[in-house]
Amino acid sequence: MNGSTSPKHPLDSLLRTDRIPHIWCPGCGIGTVFSSSLIAISSTGTDPMKTAVVSGIGCSGRGAGYVKLDSYHTTHGRAIPFATGMKLANPELTVVVFSGDGDLFAIGGNHFIHAARRNMDLTVICVNNLNYGMTGGQAAATTPHRAKTSTTPMGNPEGPFNLPLLAYACGATYIARWTMLHTRDLTQSITEALTHTGFSFIEVLAPCPTGFGRKNKLKNSDLLRIYQEKAIVKNGANPAETILDLEQGITLGKFVEFDRPTFADNYRAVNCD
């Protein structure tokens, strides 16, 4: 490292390099998901000028701040409705929501289910780190039962959502789950989701050694080992039969991909035909 003349990164054109270093902790998995997203965006051939990224609040929510695209860092839980307005106002835009599990599924859960029901043409990438990282590792709607967090010091009395199943029940038309270790599959999925017309959802498991790992006596390498050893890749699996259990196994794959009219298609059909 010689400071002023650091070598150019292949993704620099999509990065606000003047905002680096980022705020993510050592060992955090968000950066890998972020890289996969940028590689996917640059590989789809869609015009970056016509791509907007919308985030909510939290560690993953900071993603919008580092991407050199039109990017909007909104309020906690509200990235999806903001993105909905943006997409409907300018249908030429590819609108990507990049946010975390706490943001999208606790405070923002209502918006997720309705955007999926409407088949709103958005790509939603959820970095699931199993807890609220930015505020210091509290329990989320994705925290495993009995896991320790700073608000469940004796163990989590609640159980987590199975996000792909939730998305499926709500009407999402593209659903995949990967971990940040499966970068090739993940990048491929994000590429497909970006070109898919309709509500696309990708859950990506990423370690949070600072917030989640430490309290559960899991070193970063432990979490990564679990993601590697417990992964069961089952493309096309029925979302109802997928599991996310750090001991039993983690079902990964592209589970759902089909076409049905989007909100905009139906709006035109109902109002204009």
Partner 1 sequence: MEPAVLTGEHFLNGDVACAEGALAAGCRFFAGYPITPATEVAEHMSKRLPRVGGVFIQMEDEISAMAAILGASCAGVKSMTATSGPGFSLMMENLGLGIAMETPCVLVNVQRAGPSTGLPTLGAQGDMMQARWGSHGHYEIIALAPSSPQEIFYQTITAFNLSETYRIPVLIMADEIVGHLSERVIIPESSKIKLQSRPRPTGRKDRFKPFHPGPNGVAPMAHAGEGYMVHFTGLTHDERGYPAMTVEAQTEMMDRITGKIRRNLDKIIQVERYRLEDADVALVSYGISSRSSQAAVDEARERGIKAGLLRLLTVWPFPEDIVRELAKRVKGFITVELNLGQIHLEVQRCAEGRAPALLAGHVGGSAITPEEILERIKELVSQGK
Q: Which is nearer to partner 1, 169 or 246 (CB)?
A: 169
Residue given tokens 């706490």 in the structure block: 102
Token pair of 35, please? 């890289």
φ, ψ dihedrals at 77, nearest 5°: 90, -10
Tell me which H or E stretch contains 256: strand 249-257
Q: Which is nearer to partner 1, 8 or 217 (CB)?
A: 8
Q: Which is nearer to partner 1, 82 or 105 (CB)?
A: 82
CB of 66 to partner 1, least distance (A): 9
Pinpoint the alpha helices (H) of 121-262.
163-170, 183-195, 214-215, 220-229
Q: Which is nearer to partner 1, 257 or 265 (CB)?
A: 265
Return d(Cα 69, Cα 63) in angstroms, integer: 11
CB of 221 to partner 1, least distance (A): 32
CB of 123 to partner 1, least distance (A): 15
CB crowding 206-244: b at 16 or more within 10 Å, else e = bbbbbbbbebbebebeebbebbeebbeeeeebebeebeb
CB of 89 to partner 1, least distance (A): 4
* Helix, coil or strand: residue 231: strand
What's the number of CA atoms in the CB half-sphere (13 Å) around residue 242?
A: 30
Q: Which is nearer to partner 1, 126 or 244 (CB)?
A: 126
Token pair of 207, please? 């370690």
CB of 249 to partner 1, least distance (A): 34
Residue 119 near residue 101 (C-beta atoms within 8 A): no
Residues near partner 1 (CB under 8 A) are 16, 18-19, 49-50, 52, 54, 64-65, 68-75, 78, 80-90, 92-93, 110-111, 114, 263, 267, 271-272
CB of 14 to partner 1, least distance (A): 10
Q: Which is nearer to partner 1, 110 or 235 (CB)?
A: 110
